Amino acid sequence: MKYDLKDTYIVRFNQKETEIAMTTNNLQVFYGNKQAFFDGNMQFPKNRITALIGASGSGKSTFLRSLNRMNDDVARVEGQIMYRGIDINSRNINVYEMRKHVGMVFQRPNPFSKSIRDNITFALKEKGLKDKVEQDRIVEESLKGAALWDEVKDDLDKSALALSGGQQQRLCIARAIAMKPDILLMDEPCSALDPISTLKVEETMLKLKERYTIIIVTHNMQQASRVSDYTAFFHMGHVIEYDKTKHIFTNPAIKATEDYVSGNFG
């Protein structure tokens, strides 16, 4: 093993100065007997973007998906995930309700095979919102929030599947924010997009952080340095370094991070 996995630096925030949206305490994830994530003690500041970076298989998605219990059926997740004073990793949590607060946008755009409007109103109707005027208001607000409104406002009844990949991903962001989550988890949201759509989604994220806390897995280091305030570097299921993005990319504390961000890794 080239690096000492105990040689780590994890930023701690003074909660009097920085509001924390979510904290993980001793988070560990197991697939069967195999431990895929080891020692997550992390605080995620509110209204900030935190990027999770690291080589393939380092545990980024495993960690991210645990944060809103997407791993429940495939993995055993131990430890606490504290959100508004509640451990949302505890068994008696209503996971469906919790995901309204901690939303997720996936790697590949996955709009429903429905109209643009219905993609957004579907979950609202399920939630019992019948008022059409209020539905329309939320459709507009969410599409504006996801920087898609101007492109689709005259086509709301057209199929979402007719949109470009980048537009579909922004529709998925609109769908997620229509539920008014506090925290948005994004698992490589731009990996299936061309550079122009990627820039649009990045601009959207920068706007969204005024209202949301975003945690994003990305393989794209330029993207991490462009959009994120904080970055966590993952290696072999461990968080090796978590700090301001500026420090991670210009002056990392740990050798493994330095090697990774400078391309001398492995």
Ligand X SMILES: Nc1ncnc2c1ncn2[C@@H]1O[C@H](COP(=O)(O)OP(=O)(O)OP(=O)(O)O)[C@@H](O)[C@H]1O
Using CB under 6 A as the criterion, which residues of the chain lie in contact with ligand X when the complex forms? 31, 36, 54, 56-62, 74
Query: Backbone phi, then psi, for 215, in 5-degree steps?
Result: -125, 120
User: Which of 92, 37, 35 is closest to 62 using CA atoms?
Assistant: 37
Judged by beta carbon, residue 74 or residue 196, the one nearer ligand X is 74
Nearest to 166, CA basis, from 204, 123, 221, 214: 204
Closer Cβ to ligand X, 66 or 197, answer by number: 66
Query: Nearest approach, Cβ of 201 to ligand X (angstroms)?
Result: 18
Beta bridge partners of 185: 104, 215
- Determine the residue type at 25: N
Pairwise CA distance, residues 243 & 203, whole Å = 22
138 versus 217: smaller Cβ distance to ligand X = 217
Smaller CB separation from ligand X, 31 or 86: 31
| Nearest distance from C-beta of residue 178 to ligand X, angstroms | 27
- Cα separation, 48 vs 119, in Å, equals 27
The least CB distance from residue 218 to ligand X, in Å, is: 9
DSSP summary character for residue 43: E
Q: Give least dist CB 189 to ligand X, A.
A: 13
Which C-beta is closer to ligand X: that of 31 or that of 153?
Answer: 31
β-bridge pairing 49-54 and 213-217:
parallel
Rounded to the nearest whole angstrom, what is the least distance from the CB of residue 28 to ligand X in the complex?
A: 12
Select 44 or 234, whichever has its Cβ closest to ligand X. Answer: 234
Instruction: Annotate 58-107 with DSSP letters as a single string.
Output: SSHHHHHHHTTTTTTTT-EEEEEEEETTEETTSTTS-HHHHHHHEEEE-S
Toward ligand X, which CB reaches closer, 60 or 170? 60
Cβ at position 30, least distance to ligand X in Å: 9
Q: b/e map of 30-61 (b: 16 or more CB within 10 Å)?
A: eeeeeebbbbbbbbbbeebbbbbbbeeebbbb
CA–centroid distance for 78 within its chain:
20
**Please, what is the minimum distance in Å from the beta carbon of residue 237 to ligand X?**
7
Q: Smallest distance, Å, CB 1 to ligand X?
A: 15
Residue 66 vs 121, nearer CB to ligand X = 66
